[in-house]
Amino acid sequence: MNRVIPSRRAFWVLTALFILVCVTGAAWANRFLRQPALTPAIRGEAVARKLGCFACHGAEGQGGIADPGARGGKVPGWGGPTVSSYAKNEQEIREWILDGAPRRLKEAGAAHPPFIPMPAYRGRLDDRELSDLVAYFTAVSGGFGDVPEAAYEGRAIAARLGCFGCHGPSGAGGGPNPGSFKGHIPAWDGEEFLELVRDDAELREWILDGHAKRLWDNPAARHFLEGQVVQMPAYRPHLKEDEVGKLVAYIRWLRKK
């Protein structure tokens, strides 16, 4: 059998290819390693942490500590269904935060004042902190207003499948992820989303296969996709076709808001 010795020409071709890969790889790395701008909701989480909201309302506002004086026996969480009997609209959320209760309830006179009162934070946070905090609260609760049916059901599916555990409440952006493009699990909105997801077809690929084919086929991008500590799961076996549609509708609705 003849041993094939690479020719000079072949050597140069390979070298050129190698350089090309390095350059594109660097370009990819550069694009993705930029520090992403924090979303208001992510900033709001820091505000909540600083102000001690989670001490009473539970980690990430998922349901609070015992309140033996309250009828329900605990400090309410910030989940949408819970909030729906506490606040009519976003304005009332602001009133809860600033005054410890909305005006509507103060006027009616509480029949059951809680044993652990909700503090009034007026004067303890500035306007930007307040609006970030409300953005975070809105992300946790799913928000007010008229969510279209498909989007709402998409949100329910996302909650059921645990998407928010990685991607943050309402996909507002997740925790650190060493070895990934961004160093954290990306949000479903903003610039970083646009880079990773070009259109609905790619969004479906992410959800069903755990990656977009365009990136998977790119060696440098693939390096990150395979190397990151937390991997995006491929949900294909766990989703029916109409459920994928609803997830896509939800993410699209979030981005339009």
Partner 1 sequence: MMRKRMAGILLAAVLAANLLRSDAVSTAPVAPAGRSAAPVYRSPNHVCLSADGLKAYVVNSTSNSVSILDIRDRKVVGEIPVGERPVHAAVSREGRFLYVSCTWAGDVEVIDLAEGRVVRKILAGDEPYGVTVSRDGRRLFVANAVSDTVSVIESESGKTLSEIPVGHFPRDIAETADGSRLLVSNGLSRGMSVLDPATGKEVERRDLGRASITRQVAVTRDGHWAFVAGILSHDETPSLQMERGWIHSNGFSVADLTRPGHRVTLLLDRLLSGAANPWGLLLSADEKHLYVSLSGVHEVAIVDVAECLKLVAETTPDQVKPLEQDVEVLEKRNIAKRFDAGGLGPRGMALSEATGELLVANYFSDSVSVLDAATGALRATIPLGPPQEMSLWRKGELLFNDARITYQTWFTCTSCHQEDASVDGLNWDLPNDGIGNPKSAKSLHDAYDTAPAMWSGIRANMDAAIAAGQRFQGFLPDPANHRALVEYLGNPERAPNPFLRRGAEARQRGEQVFVSAGCDVCHPAPKYTDLKLHDLGFGTPDDYRSRFDTPSLREVYRSGPWLHDGRALTLRSIFSDHNPQDLHGHTKGLTEQELDDLVAFLRGL
Binding-site ranges for partner 1 (CB under 8 A): 70-73, 76, 80-82, 84-88, 105, 108-112, 146, 149, 152-153, 156
For the bound state, the minimum distance from the C-beta of residue 154 to ligand HEC, rounded and expressed in Å, comes to: 9
Give the distance, in angstroms, between the CA of residue 28 and the centroid of all CA atoms in the same chain: 23
Q: How far is CA 158 from each of CA 54, 189, 235, 238, 249, rounded to the nearest angstrom?
A: 23, 15, 11, 12, 11
Residue 156's binding partner among ligand HEC, partner 1, none (Cβ under 5 to 8 angstroms by kind) is: partner 1
Residue 72's binding partner among partner 1, ligand HEC, none (Cβ under 5 to 8 angstroms by kind) is: partner 1
Which residues, 150 to 179, sit near ligand HEC by CB under 6 A?
A: 158, 161-163, 165-167, 177
177 vs 59: CA distance, rounded Å? 20
Residue 153's binding partner among partner 1, ligand HEC, none (Cβ under 5 to 8 angstroms by kind) is: partner 1
Q: How far is CA 202 from each of CA 28, 143, 152, 182, rounded to the nearest angstrom?
A: 18, 26, 21, 18
Candidate list 39, 60, 140, 181; residue touching ligand HEC; CB under 6 A? 181
- DSSP letters along 28-96, please? HHHHHHSPPPPPHHHHHHHHHHHHTHHHHH-GGGSS--B-TTSTTSB-----HHHHTTT-SSHHHHHHH
Applying CB under 6 A, the residues found at the interface with ligand HEC are 48, 51-53, 55-57, 67, 70, 75-78, 82-83, 86, 93, 96-97, 101, 114, 116, 118-119, 121, 133, 137, 158, 161-163, 165-167, 177, 180-182, 185-188, 192-193, 196-197, 203, 206-207, 225, 228, 230-233, 235, 247
